[in-house]
Amino acid sequence: MPPLRQYNTNLVSKLKEDFKGTGTLLRRVSEEAVDAEVWPEGSLEVLSQVEADQLRSKGEGGLYTLLRRCILAVLNSGAETDDARAVLEKFKDFDVGFIQQDRGLKVTIKSAPSSAFVDGEMIRGIREQVFAVLRDVVFTSYEIVDSGRFDLGTSENITNAVFHILRNAHLLQSSVEPHLVVCWGGHAISRREYDYTKKVGYEIGLRGLNVCTGCGPGAMKGPMKGATIGHAKQRIRNGRYIGITEPGIIAAESPNPIVNSLIIMPDMEKRLEAFVRTGHGIVVFPGGVGTAEEILYLLGILLHPDNRDLPLPLIFTGPPESASYFERINQFIGATLGEDAQKRYKIVVDDPEKVGRMMREGLAEVRSFRRIHGDAYYFNWRLKIDHEFQKPFIATHEAMHSLEIRKGLPTHVLAANLRRVFSGIVSGNVREDTMARIEAEGPFEIRATGPYMELLDELLAAFVRQGRMKIASESYKPCYKVVA
């Protein structure tokens, strides 16, 4: 680990006096960057010396690189960009160190975004999120991956791993009835679409329901913002605004400041499973390839025969100008997954109050079903998730070209492969390692045959035309091409 900044003794004494008890010791480096020492906010167990060494290690098996990436994303909350490489380049001098003390772990940061601080103190919510990152990364590394307790090659153990990560993050509440609405949607949406997500969130909050999203901006932030007002009007002081992310996308989708419970899952597949295991109902707003990935993942699961009678309210909704977006999504689903898939969701245009009512009624059905069957309210163990939807997918040129998109495939296999197509494009849009691979080897080739080639090409082209691929959509260059 590089040497920590040596603070002037008089300055340290003065700052300690000025900010006694705040948990932050800060020194401004420039208008955009500061150095600081931060004490824990929230719960974080004291680490062993081995664990602390792994946090510091930049070598093979060390956690430093992963933690640096995730902590920078948290500190960069509110940034108007989804370009991970631009963020990492802007804060290329950012560094993080770890000191274990009796009172817990202290984090030293160098050249951090100054927007994470106010009047010399790190914003409390951001401080909580910094230590949520540490909590989840350390737990996943030592208790899930290295402990030998979980065979992550089997479906059952993957689900158990997801459960243990969420339980360690104190997300699961055994005494609470179904109340959690997962909201999916894009970060690159129009202002009217964003305002609509706030209205839906408001209706959800008025009904005493809580919100879980992917934690980023756009349709991930809007529902939380609306729910805070609904909760305030109902004098609900313990509203939950849960954000679930993973290291591959966190730099491009920094956690928004409303999130009061941040969870870092180890990969996209476990992130998606966390959503559907803990959520009691799902609302989908307009989005791009990431939203399409989430839709295909969920529908592929719900089409499994074991899930046929399982209640899970699913609503697609947006303002009037988004009607054509959902028509196109609906047509694509019908042409690929069939009418059974279309029956699993409702489309509501320009009626936030109706969405709120439908979701409350749907959660009542979920509560009744789980009570009758003796199922847990806090984690959907009964939901059957095929192993095809759990295996981590790494977007490489070979992997993307090898995906089969053709007629004759079992529906769940087609859904899983389509999900991987969109997942790969997400990776090519926001992950710096995948972007570098595409620059070196050219765009991904997505192989589709028959009508699927035209369907896929038209849907992706529509996302590009509507500016749904990236925030800076005018300069977007596709990272893929669809071939026969």
Comparison of pLDDT for 49 and 470, the residue scoring more: 470
Q: Is it the case that residue 100 has pLDDT exceeding 50?
A: yes
Give the CATH number of the domain where residue 69 resides. Answer: 3.30.1850.10
Rg (CA), the chain: 22
Give the Cα separation of 103 and 49 in Å (integer). Answer: 15
Of 22-31, 311-320, 350-359, 377-386, the range with the lowest mean pLDDT is: 22-31
Please indicate, yes or no, whether residues 207 and 324 belong to a single structural domain of this protein. yes
Give the Cα separation of 328 and 334 in Å (integer). Answer: 10
Q: Is residue 151 part of a domain?
A: no
Please indicate, yes or no, whether residues 370 and 413 belong to a single structural domain of this protein. no
pLDDT at residue 342 in the model: 96
CB-based contacts of 410, cutoff 8 Å, min separation 6: none
Please indicate, yes or no, whether residues 378 and 275 belong to a single structural domain of this protein. yes
Chain mean pLDDT for the chain: 87
Record the tokens describing residue 74, joined without a space: 């948290």
Please indicate, yes or no, whether residues 318 and 458 belong to a single structural domain of this protein. no
> What is the pLDDT confidence band of residue 122, given thresholds at 50, 70 and 90?
confident
Give the Cα separation of 62 and 343 in Å (integer). Answer: 47
Please indicate, yes or no, whether residues 116 and 181 belong to a single structural domain of this protein. no
> What is the pLDDT confidence band of residue 68, given thresholds at 50, 70 and 90?
confident
Q: Is residue 144 part of a domain?
A: no
Q: Is residue 150 part of a domain?
A: no
pLDDT at residue 23 in the model: 60
Q: Is residue 137 part of a domain?
A: no
What's the rounded mean pLDDT across residues 223-228? 97
Please indicate, yes or no, whether residues 207 and 352 belong to a single structural domain of this protein. yes
Record the tokens describing residue 412, joined without a space: 């769940």
Please indicate, yes or no, whether residues 475 and 348 belong to a single structural domain of this protein. no
Q: Is residue 269 part of a domain?
A: yes
Give the Cα separation of 269 and 266 in Å (integer). Answer: 9
Domain span including residue 351: 156-387
Domain boundary among 358, 387, 416: 387
pLDDT tens digit sequence for 158-195: 999 999 999 999 999 888 889 999 999 998 889 999 99
Question: What is the total count of domains within the chain?
Answer: 3
> What is the pLDDT confidence band of residue 248, given thresholds at 50, 70 and 90?
confident
Q: Is residue 375 part of a domain?
A: yes
pLDDT tens digit sequence for 440-466: 999 999 999 888 899 999 999 988 888
Domain boundary among 99, 123, 147: 123
Record the tokens describing residue 298, joined without a space: 């969920």
What's the rounded mean pLDDT across residues 77-91? 75
Q: Is residue 457 part of a domain?
A: yes
Comparison of pLDDT for 366 and 44, the residue scoring more: 366
Please indicate, yes or no, whether residues 164 and 92 belong to a single structural domain of this protein. no
Q: Is residue 66 part of a domain?
A: yes
Please indicate, yes or no, whether residues 382 and 392 belong to a single structural domain of this protein. no
pLDDT at residue 195 in the model: 97
Please indicate, yes or no, whether residues 287 and 205 belong to a single structural domain of this protein. yes
Please indicate, yes or no, whether residues 408 and 478 belong to a single structural domain of this protein. yes
Please indicate, yes or no, whether residues 84 and 115 belong to a single structural domain of this protein. yes
**pTM over 0.85, yes/no:** yes
Domain boundary among 336, 353, 387: 387
Rounded to 10 degrees, the C-alpha dihedral 85/89/94/95 comes to 60
- Phi, psi for 436 (deg, rounded to 5): -65, -40
